[in-house]
Amino acid sequence: MITLEQVDQMRKRTNCSYEEAKFYLEKHNGNVLEAIVDFERTKNSTRNGSLNSPRHVSDFWQSMAALIRKGFEVRVVIEDKNNNMFINIPVNIMLLFVIFASYIVIPALLILMLLGYKLTIRKSHGEVVNISSLVQDVTGNKAKETPNVPQKQDESPVNAEESRNSYNEITIE
């Protein structure tokens, strides 16, 4: 059982919070000396392990290299209606095109999708993400047509005039 005196003694000697003192004392079964040593060891290791240390910089570049490698494995594929491949490029190259020529690439991709081309992202282990069907799901299934039902002739003149103008109403839910 951790006492308040132990927590106060640790806080006085280490200048830590109540929560930290309780954590380290519970970890070391109430041994104040072991808790203080562990706290200082942890505190010094986080101070020495700053983000500018060579280890963290090396980890950053290793993760960036892995991300770039993965980007060259994943492909952006554009196919026509007959499944003939039109474009097959790595995602990294497509991202560069989108970043540096977005005013050309994005409208071109939209036009190709309107013309019926399929835009897919193919991962290295065979998984396929069909962007065209996602766009169709977002735009096509949300809209439903509801025909305008003609009003009775004995209703107000505004309703009678609306019934003469037959149109379909589109409701987006």
Return the closest-CA partner of residue 43 out of 71, 20, 77, 68. 20
Domain count along the chain: 3
> pTM for the complete prediction?
0.46
Query: Is the pLDDT score of 141 beyond 90?
Result: no
Query: Is the pLDDT score of 45 beyond 50?
Result: yes
Is residue 56 one of the residues assigned to a domain?
Answer: no
Is residue 36 one of the residues assigned to a domain?
Answer: yes
The pLDDT assigned to 155 comes to 46
* First vs last C-alpha separation in the chain: 59
Beta pairing class for 128-130 and 118-122: antiparallel
Domain around 40: 4-48
Is residue 58 one of the residues assigned to a domain?
Answer: no
* 167-172 mean pLDDT: 45
Query: Is the pLDDT score of 159 beyond 80?
Result: no
Is residue 68 one of the residues assigned to a domain?
Answer: no
* 138-159 mean pLDDT: 50
C-alpha 172 chain-centroid distance: 26
Q: Give the tens place of pLDDT for each residue, 59-106.
A: 788 888 989 998 898 898 898 888 888 889 999 999 999 999 999 999
Integer Cα distance of 138 and 132 in angstroms: 10
Is residue 60 one of the residues assigned to a domain?
Answer: no
Under 8 Å between Cβ of 9 and 32: yes
pLDDT top residue among 166 and 28: 28
Mean pLDDT, rounded, of the chain: 78
Is residue 92 one of the residues assigned to a domain?
Answer: yes
Q: Give the tens place of pLDDT for each residue, 103-121.
A: 999 999 889 888 888 888 8
